[in-house]
A and B are shown apart, each in its own frame.
Chain A
Amino acid sequence: MDATVGSSHAFEEHTSEVEVNLRASSVEALFREAALALAEVMAGREVPASTEAREPVELDATDRDALLVDWLNELLFRTETSGRLYTAVRIDRLTDRTLSAAVGAVERPEPLICVKAATLHGVRIVETPGGWTANVVLDV
């Protein structure tokens, strides 16, 4: 697991979807944790980290909250089309509107939980005394 000290994710109650609470010491770590949370939702369990992050990801958005959602949706797209689960993340550059990263994957376990998308519903990256936090609702 590509764990970062102080990073965590938890699943909160939502009637129909999956709501993920993310916590990390930095925004970069928050984005890495989001990738792990998505992989766990899709696999139905924690998944082992892949070895290297080699596939480039370049994104831009109107703001950092939207960027987080775009990030998850890009990973979701790659998982659904590649047959692989993305668990290795290297953040090269992260601004309030852009992301350059590299990701690595493992062959996805069967069966996988279908995640339709990450939504903009209620997403807000917030700085706290302990670091950063955000909630994201995934449509499953």
Chain B
Amino acid sequence: METQTHLPRDLTPPALRRLGEVEYELVASAGMRVPARVFADEVLLAQMLRDRSFRQLMNVACLPTVVDAVYGMPDMHEGYGFPVGGVAATEAPHGLISPGGIGFDINCGVRLLASTLKRTEVLPMAETLVHEFSRSIPAGMGRASDTSFDPGQMARVLEEGVPYLVRELGFGTEEDIEFVESGGCLPGGRAQLVSPHARDRGHTQLGTLGGGNHFVELQVVDAIFDADAASRLGLGLDTVTVLIHTGSRGLGHQVCTDHVRQMDRAMARHGIHVEDRQLACAPLSSVEGQAYFGAMCAAANFGFCNRHLIACLVRGVFERVVGHGGLRLVYDVAHNTAKLERYGDRILCVHRKGATRAFGPSSEELPLAYRGLGQPVLIPGSMGTASYVLLGTDRAQEISFASACHGAGRAMSRGAAKRAVTGSEVRRQLAAQGIVVRCTSNAELAEEAPLAYKDAARVVDVVHRAGIARKVARLRPIGVVKG
């Protein structure tokens, strides 16, 4: 069904064509090589039209070698180059790869741990747990990890990822490996392609939270939408979970910086012009493309390992405070990556910037326990609001390069958020909800206030209605350590 729809005059063009209940397509404009499609309801659409996210998505659609369509997830908002919540693919081996299509925080992602403990058992200890999280998990800029890795160990982290930490250094369990996306290791990681600057930034940061919107959150499963699926994921109503949100820290940031710079220099030689220099790109098969891909995979492995080590610290806190560290890993997903994936007889390089892979029940890449069920899609809410667990569908591969949203998505600038609310007010609001907060910066607390974000429930609802992923459970926060 196609119906032409023009939004009211106070909402800026481009013109949109409605493709379905929650799917729109931008009417093609000059230079776009593929359609640009957005998943949104009318409220989210109106929010997107307030910033430059549509223009950025259109620029992505202008990139040489992009195939099929580019997609905006329902949490899409303005970024730089790619919009946050943008997905695009090129065909390997000669299609382009763009570091801006992944972002600086390579493999920023989320890990969910679940317990069999009930809310009533843990609530009396929530303050202590959150306090111990904040003492045990280095957070913010400049806080170094308590665990040091020599250069040889770091090289193996970059190339072997989580399996190395588990099997060689004894961090975590063998079972953990299966429940991390891609087994906790992208096999293309090449340590020698990670620059000295990147290693210098990252070498004390493995096992640290970082800052910005990163967090460790203590939660309760407060709603179940699919009882059978929740049971298979180990999520029981009123049980306690922990969600970890962080990425590859300074190492990943520097990898992106290094390679945007290199590709910006090399584009002319490849005959490439882009609308936005932050979209600098090169053929995946080129020297620059392979160098970035190897470094990106290495940084992604650092990100998986970072969340893995923090999870070990969380288990340690539970051991000390609760008496046992029996937190099972439900799943660990990446939000910012480029991955080589098969779609029919094509191998596509799928760029996800602020988007989550959402493989369906048929995927052979799923843990054995999740075959026939789907890949968990973990969607953190904003601070103080609920997070969601969904399962990817087979249909997602047809309509969105198997991609879903990654969070609530920002709805206003940091400046506007700080003008609207103070950090002290946010602390009071969270306390009134019974949420324990640890955050050293009132300014960052205000920037990350719930009012600065879109409604996560609405974003998740669109993903569900679009058929990309189906809702399984809702997780309500009872404590948070903010980076």
Contacts and interface: CB of A to CB of B under 8 A. Distances in A.
Contacts of B211: 111-114
Interface of B: 51, 53, 77-81, 84, 103-105, 140-142, 197, 200-201, 210-212, 250, 253-254, 256-257, 260-261, 264-265, 276-278, 280, 410-416, 440-441, 443-444, 483
B256 A108 contact: no
Given A66-B261, A120-B277, A121-B276, A14 B81 contact: no
Contacts of A66: 261, 264, 277
Contact of A13 (B141, B260, B415): B415
Given A11-B415, A62-B264, A119-B81, A110 B410 contact: no
A41 to B, nearest CB: 10
Interface centre among B265, B411, B412, B414 (most CB of A within 10 A): B414
B413 A14 contact: yes
Residue from A44, A66, A70, A111 having most chain B Cβ neighbours under 10 A:
A111
Given A113-B141, A113-B211, A117-B257, A80 B201 contact: yes
B210 to A, nearest CB: 6
A130 interface: no
Nearest to A44: B443
Given A62-B264, A81-B201, A112-B141, A121 B413 contact: no
Residue with the greatest number of chain B CB neighbours at <10 A, chosen from A65, A108, A121, A137: A121
Which size class do A's interface residues fall under?
Answer: 35 or more
Nearest to A63: B264
B278 A77 contact: no
User: Is chain A's binding surface mostly helix, strand, loop or mixed?
Assistant: loop
A13 B78 CA distance: 11
Interface stretch (A15-23, A29-37, A86-94): A15-23
A112 B51 contact: no
Interface string A93-125: 000000000000000101111101101111100
A121 B253 contact: no
Given A11-B415, A140-B414, A77 B212 contact: no
Contacts of A56: none
A15 B260 contact: no
Given A70-B261, A120-B280, A112 B77 contact: no
Given A14-B413, A44-B441, A111-B441, A117 B265 contact: no
Nearest to B108: A116
A6 interface: no
B257 A73 contact: yes
Contacts of B410: 15-16
